[in-house]
């Protein structure tokens, strides 16, 4: 499918709503289960705990586990598919697992797995996604597409498009955060603006959040899940294990079924639409004020760039380098200090002025 707005609109309109393949009577609706299938006993014990929550609509477990480095636990393999079937037979929960190649798909379809997902390490490779798409041509099965490990919206969109092009209509995007070399409180920072932009381009594409992989530690799973709900994301995929500290993979981020069920009852879903007239009017007034300020920001930026170009001409005339790193570092420190005094987040201001500075450099080259 070619790039452009119209093809994306066509794609978005044709995607099947979640209600076509998973019950949606509770918010949040949740796909839950262990990071990895480890034993039949572990799978059944986890599922028996999870099925007690009316929020849990499907059971997940990784059968094949792509690991960053070799010699780590890389999944139990195809035998885990039999365990998924046993979970479904006992609990009635649809099952889900990750696929990364055509062999995985063939085995999953033969075993009757209900939902497939493409992992973050696979989404980065158009060749791998196309191979999976070709293997699914003509198959009517839900496929969840995790964001690529790197913050690349194009790869995420491209993976969805490749699956759509072979006839998959039961599609959803699965947001699990993005890798970064900078240490943060999250294992994979959410960079919410990226899934929001994906949703803007494909408004009918269901969006699911994976707070387990964003958080990386179990005490952050709940606040991340609440953030997702506050942004209007009603579907969650959360890892759960009967003995999480003994899990063979991702032990730190998994919750016990009991803790997960309790957490789901604490989460607060917001109303999608505003019906109160007074509230609507009040919000409209506030939005008008914000729009006025936004317009002024744009005018001020345009004025700033005029002076930037003038300075650029002087630098060129007098053979002065465009980038003066010492001055830029001092300016940034000053901006951050002023911002913190008025209650603005330092990282927010840093990101804004780094973008402005990059544009200023571009204007002067």
- Predicted structure pTM score: 0.84
The tens digit of pLDDT for each residue in 248-279 reads 999 999 999 999 999 999 999 877 677 778 88
CA distance 12 to 307: 43
Q: Which residues pair with 30 in a beta bridge?
A: 56, 236
CATH superfamily of 277-364: Chorismate mutase (1.20.59.10)
Question: What is the percent of the chain where pLDDT is above 70?
Answer: 98
pLDDT of residue 114: 98
Helix, strand, coil percent content, the chain, rounded in steps of 5: 55, 10, 35
Question: pLDDT at residue 313 above 60?
Answer: yes
Mean pLDDT, range 219-245, rounded to an integer: 96
Q: Using an 8 Å Cβ cutoff, are 256 and 49 in contact? A: yes
Label residue 180 by pLDDT band (50, 70, 90). Answer: confident
Label residue 122 by pLDDT band (50, 70, 90). Answer: very high
Q: What is the average pLDDT score of the chain?
A: 93
pLDDT of residue 183: 84
Question: pLDDT at residue 314 above 50?
Answer: yes
CA distance 330 to 223: 35
Q: Which of 243, 249, 235 is nearest to 27 (CA)?
A: 235
The tens digit of pLDDT for each residue in 138-155 reads 999 999 999 999 999 999
The helix (run of H) or strand (run of E) holding residue 353 is: helix 346-364
Sequence ranges of the domains in the chain: 5-266, 277-364
Cβ within 8 Å of residue 10, ≥6 positions away: none
Q: Using an 8 Å Cβ cutoff, are 322 and 312 in contact? A: yes
pLDDT of residue 120: 96
CATH superfamily of 5-266: Aldolase class I (3.20.20.70)
């Amino acid at each position: 499918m070619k790039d452009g707005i119209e093809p994306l609109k066509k794609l978005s309109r044709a995607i099947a709503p979640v209600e076509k393949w998973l019950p949606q009577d509770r918010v949040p609706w949740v796909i839950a289960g262990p990071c990895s299938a480890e034993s039949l006993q572990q799978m059944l014990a986890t599922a028996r705990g999870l099925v007690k929550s009316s929020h849990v609509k499907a059971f997940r477990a990784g059968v094949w586990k792509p690991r960053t480095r070799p010699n780590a636990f890389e999944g139990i393999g195809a035998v885990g598919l039999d365990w998924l079937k046993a979970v479904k037979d006992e609990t009635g929960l649809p099952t889900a697992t990750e696929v990364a190649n055509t062999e995985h798909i063939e085995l999953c379809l033969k075993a009757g797995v209900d939902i497939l997902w493409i992992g973050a390490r696979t989404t980065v490779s158009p060749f791998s996604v196309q191979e999976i798409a070709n293997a699914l041509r003509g198959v009517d099965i839900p496929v969840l597409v995790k964001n690529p490990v790197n913050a690349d919206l194009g790869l995420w969109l491209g993976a969805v498009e490749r699956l759509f092009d072979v006839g998959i209509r039961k599609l959803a995007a699965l947001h699990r955060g993005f890798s970064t070399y900078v240490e943060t409180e999250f294992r994979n920072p959410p960079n919410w603006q990226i899934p929001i932009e994906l949703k803007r381009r494909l408004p009918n594409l269901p969006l699911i959040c994976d707070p387990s992989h964003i958080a990386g530690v179990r005490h952050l799973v709940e606040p991340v899940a609440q953030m997702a709900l506050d942004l209007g994301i009603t579907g969650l995929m959360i890892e759960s294990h009967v003995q999480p500290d003994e899990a063979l993979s991702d032990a730190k981020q998994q919750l016990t079924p009991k803790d997960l069920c309790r957490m789901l009852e604490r989460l607060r879903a917001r109303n999608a639409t505003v019906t109160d007239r007074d509230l609507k009017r009040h919000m409209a007034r506030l939005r008008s004020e914000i729009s006025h300020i936004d317009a002024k920001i744009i005018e001020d930026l345009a004025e700033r760039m005029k002076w930037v170009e003038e300075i650029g001409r002087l630098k060129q005339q007098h053979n002065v380098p465009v980038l003066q790193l010492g001055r830029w570092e001092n300016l940034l420190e000053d901006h951050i200090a002023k911002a913190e005094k008025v209650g603005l987040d330092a990282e927010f201001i840093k990101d804004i002025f780094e973008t402005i500075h990059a544009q200023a450099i571009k204007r002067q080259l």
